[in-house]
């Protein structure tokens, strides 16, 4: 039989059919493999969802247990911190929890709550007169540094920028069977008057156990709730603001006719400043036989708080000529408070009077007593007052108008001593968010000597403050 050769077009046609058949088999195999992979992925997703549900249930149980534990805690946590979230370890146990007081945290295995904070503040001051080179008065209101008489050339129209009021604080709280132990430490950078020197300065450093407090803080003679809300760190004349000193204080709460009250007794660091007729300047003595004694009664009605304080102290000085120690006792009283008026508005006030008020009345402004030409030490009568009204325009904007006054009955021979001073602060402050304050403030102050010489300061201050 003879072999017949197929036509070329037939061979091509059958080859095409064969290749299509093989391609169809490959496509079926690929689709089958994809279906298998999709089924596997669905199973993995289902397993993952189940695991997520399990973890969410465990997390809810953990939060529920913590809430129950906090509800039976003997010390109620701060509402702000009660909402804070715990940092969780991989095992689901809390590493750090909210502390028992505001702005603190507590570590496992301890009863101590600790907290740190502070703020960064930049002050820009435009003044009509300068206080001289490297003076605190160029950075805040220092009433005693306002120039009197003719102003030297070059000391007018001054601008100053600094961040010295920036602060850092640390506090702790520990409950014990003897009462709560509290500590507080606060620093700023006013340790050196040099414009470019940022030397840390201790503002507060104290601890307390129950009703007993020991360390450096505001004098007990001052009601800190009555301090005016100003951008100026020097604050208003008559506010006793800058007087912080070492002290030992006992505070005893009680109530009378349903009104919350407490009384305080304190022994505070003594320091006598006298005007010497022989040298015509003020001299300071830090040593003394007795501490300054302060008693204060505080009232806390629903509409604010009011305090009544009494100060007793011994002045001491030894003149260089006679080398005979001179000492005299004197006293002073103060009434101060903060009264709520309309909505969030409030009125703050301080009134002080006494024959040893001296350094308590204004920062480095008055002496406590005078040394006469005969070498006799006599106390100096002085008095001061502050009145401030704060108005809230809305939740973010507020203003304060503060008026301050102080005066001393200086003897005629103390011609160069400070006799009187006034101040005005008016500001507009804005809180775009809780941690930030931006504000503008106008300050006017004047100073008068016993001989009639006087000087005045006008200043505009712009400040930004960021809390952390």
Domain CATH number, residue 381: 2.40.160.10
Same domain, 193 and 291: yes
> Within a domain: residue 144?
yes
- Would you say 212 and 266 are in contact if contact means Cβ atoms under 8 Å apart? no
In this model, does residue 278 exceed pLDDT 60?
yes
Q: Which domain holds residue 328?
A: 113-467
Same domain, 237 and 161: yes
Residue 232, CA distances (Å) to 213, 241, 285, 402, 463 in order: 29, 11, 29, 11, 9
Q: Considering only CA atoms, which of 271, 277, 286 is closest in space to residue 410? A: 277
> Within a domain: residue 74?
no
> Within a domain: residue 98?
no
Same domain, 141 and 64: no
Of 33, 49, 68, which one is at a domain's C-terminal end? 68
pLDDT (0 to 100) of residue 280:
86
Q: What is the mean pLDDT of residues 233-247?
A: 87
Same domain, 52 and 185: no
pLDDT (0 to 100) of residue 40:
62
Confidence category of residue 318, pLDDT binned at 50, 70, 90: confident
pLDDT (0 to 100) of residue 51:
60
Percent of the chain with pLDDT over 70: 78
* 88-102, 229-243, 388-402, 413-427, range with the lowest pLDDT: 88-102
> Within a domain: residue 296?
yes
In this model, does residue 293 exceed pLDDT 60?
yes
DSSP character for 149? S
Helix, strand, coil distribution of the chain in percent, nearest 5: 15, 45, 35
> Within a domain: residue 101?
no
Q: Where are the beta strands (DSSP E) in 21-112?
A: 87-88, 94-98, 105-106
- The more confident residue out of 261 and 75 is 261
Interatomic CA distance for residues 376 and 89, integer angstroms: 73
pLDDT (0 to 100) of residue 282:
87
Which helix H or strand E contains 45, and what residues bound it? helix 8-71
User: How is 103-145 classified by DSSP, letter by letter?
Assistant: T-EE-TT---EEEEEEEEEEEEEEEEE---TT-GGGTS--GGG
Number of domains in the chain: 2
pLDDT (0 to 100) of residue 57:
57
Which helix H or strand E contains 82, and what residues bound it? helix 79-82
In this model, does residue 21 exceed pLDDT 80?
no
pLDDT (0 to 100) of residue 376:
87
Q: Considering only CA atoms, which of 286, 288, 267 is closest in space to residue 221? A: 267
pLDDT (0 to 100) of residue 45:
56
> Within a domain: residue 156?
yes
Q: Which two tokens stand for residue 446?
A: 């004047």
pLDDT (0 to 100) of residue 428:
98
Q: Considering only CA atoms, which of 78, 118, 113, 79 is closest in space to residue 96? A: 113
In this model, does residue 152 exceed pLDDT 80?
no
pLDDT (0 to 100) of residue 37:
62
Same domain, 190 and 58: no
Longest dimension (CA), the chain: 161
Same domain, 378 and 434: yes
The residues facing 205 across adjacent strands are 185, 216
Q: Which two tokens stand for residue 125?
A: 């001051």
**Tokens 């046609």 appear where?**
13
Percent of the chain with pLDDT over 90: 62
- The more confident residue out of 48 and 387 is 387
- Would you say 418 and 454 are in contact if contact means Cβ atoms under 8 Å apart? no
In this model, does residue 446 exceed pLDDT 70?
yes
> Within a domain: residue 413?
yes
Query: In a 3-state reduction of DSSP, which class is residue 370?
Result: strand
Same domain, 177 and 287: yes
Q: Where are the beta strands (DSSP E) in 290-381?
A: 292-300, 304-317, 326-340, 346-354, 369-371, 377-379
Q: Which residues contact 442 (CB under 8 A, 6 or more apart)?
A: 424, 425, 426, 427, 458, 459, 460, 461
Interatomic CA distance for residues 167 and 209, integer angstroms: 25
DSSP character for 325? -
Q: Considering only CA atoms, which of 202, 203, 220, 208 is closest in space to residue 182? A: 208
Same domain, 336 and 421: yes
Q: What is the mean pLDDT of residues 329-340?
A: 97
Q: Which two tokens stand for residue 65?
A: 């247990």
Same domain, 348 and 407: yes
* 123-137, 167-181, 257-271, 311-325, range with the lowest pLDDT: 311-325
Q: What is the mean pLDDT of residues 13-30?
A: 47
What mean pLDDT value characterizes the chain? 84
pLDDT (0 to 100) of residue 56:
57
Q: What is the mean pLDDT of residues 112-133?
A: 94
Q: Which two tokens stand for residue 437?
A: 């304050």
* 208-222, 233-247, 422-436, range with the lowest pLDDT: 233-247
Q: Considering only CA atoms, which of 232, 241, 216, 186 is closest in space to residue 364? A: 241
Same domain, 343 and 232: yes
In this model, does residue 258 exceed pLDDT 70?
yes
* 235-244, 247-256, 308-317, 371-380, range with the lowest pLDDT: 235-244
pLDDT (0 to 100) of residue 421:
96
pLDDT (0 to 100) of residue 3:
44
- Would you say 399 and 442 are in contact if contact means Cβ atoms under 8 Å apart? no
pLDDT (0 to 100) of residue 339:
98
Q: Which two tokens stand for residue 304?
A: 């604010």
* 145-149, 206-210, 291-295, 427-431, range with the lowest pLDDT: 145-149
> Within a domain: residue 99?
no
Same domain, 387 and 258: yes
Q: Considering only CA atoms, which of 48, 360, 368, 377 is closest in space to residue 223? A: 360
User: How is 160-207 classified by DSSP, letter by letter?
Assistant: EEE-TT-EEEEEEEE--TT--EEEEEEEESBS--STT--B-EEEEEEE
pLDDT (0 to 100) of residue 170:
96
Confidence category of residue 49, pLDDT binned at 50, 70, 90: low
pLDDT (0 to 100) of residue 17:
41
Query: In a 3-state reduction of DSSP, which class is residue 109?
Result: coil
pLDDT (0 to 100) of residue 151:
75
Question: Residue 189: phi, psi to the nearest 5?
Answer: -125, 35
Interatomic CA distance for residues 281 and 413, integer angstroms: 11
pLDDT (0 to 100) of residue 456:
95
Same domain, 52 and 117: no
């Amino acid at each position: 039989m003879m072999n017949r050769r197929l036509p070329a077009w037939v061979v091509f046609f059958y080859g095409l059919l064969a290749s299509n058949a093989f391609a169809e088999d490959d496509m079926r195999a690929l689709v089958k493999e994809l279906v298998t992979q999709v089924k596997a992925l669905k199973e993995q997703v289902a397993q993952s969802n189940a695991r997520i549900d399990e973890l969410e249930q465990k997390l809810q149980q953990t939060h529920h247990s913590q809430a129950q534990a906090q509800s039976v805690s003997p010390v109620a946590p701060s509402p702000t911190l009660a909402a804070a979230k715990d940092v969780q370890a991989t095992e689901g146990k809390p590493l750090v929890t909210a502390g028992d007081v505001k702005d603190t945290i507590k570590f496992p295995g301890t009863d101590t709550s600790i907290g740190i904070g502070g703020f960064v503040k930049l002050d820009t001051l435009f003044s009509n007169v300068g206080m001289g080179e490297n003076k605190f008065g160029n950075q805040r209101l220092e009433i005693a540094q306002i120039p009197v008489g003719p102003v030297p050339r070059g000391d007018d129209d001054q601008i100053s920028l600094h961040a010295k009021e920036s602060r850092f604080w640390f506090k702790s709280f520990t409950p014990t069977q003897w009462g709560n132990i509290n500590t507080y430490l606060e620093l700023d950078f006013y340790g050196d008057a040099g414009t470019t020197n940022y030397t840390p300065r201790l503002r507060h450093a104290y601890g307390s156990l129950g009703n007993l407090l020991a360390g450096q803080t505001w004098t007990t003679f001052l009601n800190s709730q009555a301090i005016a809300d100003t951008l100026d760190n020097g604050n208003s004349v008559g506010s006793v603001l800058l007087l912080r000193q070492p002290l030992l204080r006992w505070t005893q709460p009680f109530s009378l006719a349903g009104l919350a009250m407490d009384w305080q007794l304190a022994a505070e660091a003594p320091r006598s400043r006298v005007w010497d007729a022989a040298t015509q300047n003020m001299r300071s003595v830090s040593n003394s036989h007795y501490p300054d004694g302060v008693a204060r009664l505080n009232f806390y009605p629903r509409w604010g708080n009011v305090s009544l304080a009494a100060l007793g102290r011994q002045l001491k000085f030894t003149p260089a000529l006679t080398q005979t120690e001179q000492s005299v006792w004197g006293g002073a009283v103060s009434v101060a408070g903060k009264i709520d008026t309309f909505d969030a508005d409030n009125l703050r006030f301080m009134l002080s009077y006494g024959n040893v008020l001296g350094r308590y009345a204004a920062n480095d402004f008055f002496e406590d007593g005078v040394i006469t030409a005969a070498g006799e030490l006599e106390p100096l009568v002085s008095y001061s007052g502050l009145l401030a009204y704060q108005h809230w325009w809305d939740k973010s904007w507020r203003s304060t108008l503060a008026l301050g006054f102080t005066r001393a009955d200086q003897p005629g021979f103390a011609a160069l001593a400070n006799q009187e001073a006034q101040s005005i602060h008016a500001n507009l402050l804005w809180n775009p968010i809780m941690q930030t304050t931006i504000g503008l403030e106008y300050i006017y102050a004047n100073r008068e000597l016993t001989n009639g010489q006087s000087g005045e300061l006008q200043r505009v201050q712009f400040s930004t403050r960021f809390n952390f």
